[in-house]
């Protein structure tokens, strides 16, 4: 008779243990169901700062029940992250470096998705007298000769690489007190130029998205040498097997497809009065080029 309470106690303990295991299993199953696949995208700061990703990514996440983690850095750093296998895909704007990235086996293929133009902006007083200049190279020569303050991104971004290319074409090695490398993103560089009443090279998208907070004006644009194409490149699954390649290709299909290209075409028109980017993947969507 004395053993009955012990037996009852053991039955209760076993029942509690079984209930716990069942409950824990249910929780794990539900947690597994709730976990969404993730895509990691390294992109140039100009795409992030313009606000375009806020229009592009949510529809893709909803459609594919996934999450896109964005790392916004300069193009050079985005490419390095991909070379180290730390991201699934990159969105950048430095054609020569992109081609090398693919040729060396880090990237699968370049997909052209959109373009805009670089522009040289500066204060309305325009001390170097570059307003109306049709060539960016000639404008930079005038800035150098007059030693007017110029703020460079100095961060190995696509914009910084284009700037160095233009200085080289102008036969100028910029240095001295008039030339400053900010080492920051596009918005930060524009703000420094604004504070110092200086010139800088910017992509039009970021400038237009932030022009209300800037006392800078576009002085040189629409030079064919200021053409600024963007590409997306999936990271090689052969080199990095952990890459979420299936989701990567869904993103490529989305951004190069009609839905993604139409978002790019329309972005900026309502809020800024002009589109900030022009689609490249589907002909006929862009009226500019």
Q: Which sequence spans correspond to the domains of the chain?
A: 1-28, 38-115+229-279, 117-226
Dist CA 9 CA 249 (whole Å)? 58
Please state which architecture CATH assigns to domain 38-115+229-279: 3-Layer(aba) Sandwich (3.40)
**Mean pLDDT, rounded, for 45-61:** 94
With a cut of 50, say whether residue 21 has pLDDT above it: no
Flag whether the pTM goes above 0.75. Answer: yes
Which of 106-110, 146-150, 260-264, 281-285 has the least mean pLDDT?
281-285
* Fold match between domain 38-115+229-279 and domain 117-226: yes
Q: Is the pLDDT of residue 132 over 50?
A: yes
Average pLDDT for 164-188:
96
Q: Mean of the pLDDT values across residues 261-278?
A: 93
> What fold is seen in the domain 117-226?
D-Maltodextrin-Binding Protein; domain 2 (3.40.190)
| Over residues 63-87, mean pLDDT | 95
Query: Is residue 126 scored above 80 in pLDDT?
Result: yes
Neighbours of 275 (CB within 10 A): 22
d(CA 68, CA 260): 15
CA distance 265 to 268: 9
Measured CA to CA, the distance from residue 80 to residue 249 in angstroms comes to 21
Phi, psi of 82 (to 5 degrees): -70, -40
Q: Which of 11-15, 33-37, 116-120 has the lowest mean pLDDT?
A: 11-15
E strand map for the chain = 38-44, 67-73, 89-92, 111-122, 150-152, 179-181, 200-203, 217-220, 227-234, 278-279
CA distance 18 to 21: 5
pLDDT tens for 5-17 read: 556 555 545 455 5
User: What is the dihedral sign for C-alpha 276, 114, 89, 258?
Assistant: positive
The residue whose two tokens read 């800078």 is: 216
Q: Tell me what the mean pLDDT of segment 268-278 comes to.
A: 91
Q: What is the mean pLDDT of residues 187-192?
A: 96
Q: In the chain, what percentage of residues exceed pLDDT 90?
A: 80
pLDDT of residue 2: 46
What local confidence, expressed as pLDDT, does residue 10 receive? 55
Mean residue pLDDT across the chain: 88
User: For 96, phi and psi rounded to 5 degrees?
Assistant: -65, -40
């Amino acid at each position: 008779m004395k053993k009955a309470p012990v037996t009852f106690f053991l039955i209760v303990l076993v029942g509690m243990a079984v209930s716990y295991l069942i409950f824990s299993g249910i929780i794990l199953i539900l947690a597994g169901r709730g976990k969404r696949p993730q895509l990691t995208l390294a992109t140039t700061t100009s795409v992030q700062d313009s606000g375009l990703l806020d229009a592009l990514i949510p529809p893709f996440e909803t459609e594919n029940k996934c999450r896109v983690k964005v790392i916004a850095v300069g193009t050079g750093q985005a490419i390095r992250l991909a070379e180290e296998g730390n991201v699934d895909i990159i969105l950048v704007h430095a054609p020569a470096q992109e081609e090398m990235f693919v040729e060396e086996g880090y990237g699968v293929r370049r997909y052209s998705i959109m373009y805009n133009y670089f522009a040289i902006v500066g204060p309305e007083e325009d001390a170097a007298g570059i307003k109306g200049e049709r060539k960016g190279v000639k404008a930079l020569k005038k800035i150098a000769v007059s030693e007017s303050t110029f703020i460079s991104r100095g961060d190995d971004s696509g914009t910084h690489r284009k700037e160095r290319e233009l200085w080289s074409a102008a036969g100028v090695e910029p240095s001295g007190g008039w030339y400053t490398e900010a080492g920051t993103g596009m918005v930060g560089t524009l703000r420094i130029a604004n504070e110092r009443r200086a010139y800088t090279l910017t992509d039009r998208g970021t400038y237009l998205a932030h022009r209300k907070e800037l006392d800078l004006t576009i002085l040189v644009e629409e030079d064919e040498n200021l053409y600024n194409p963007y590409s997306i490149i999936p990271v090689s699954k052969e080199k990095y097997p952990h890459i979420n390649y299936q989701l990567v290709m869904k993103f490529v299909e989305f951004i190069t497809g009609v839905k993604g290209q139409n978002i790019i075409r329309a972005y900026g028109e309502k809020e800024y009065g002009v589109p900030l980017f022009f689609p490249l993947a589907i002909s006929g969507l862009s009226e500019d080029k």
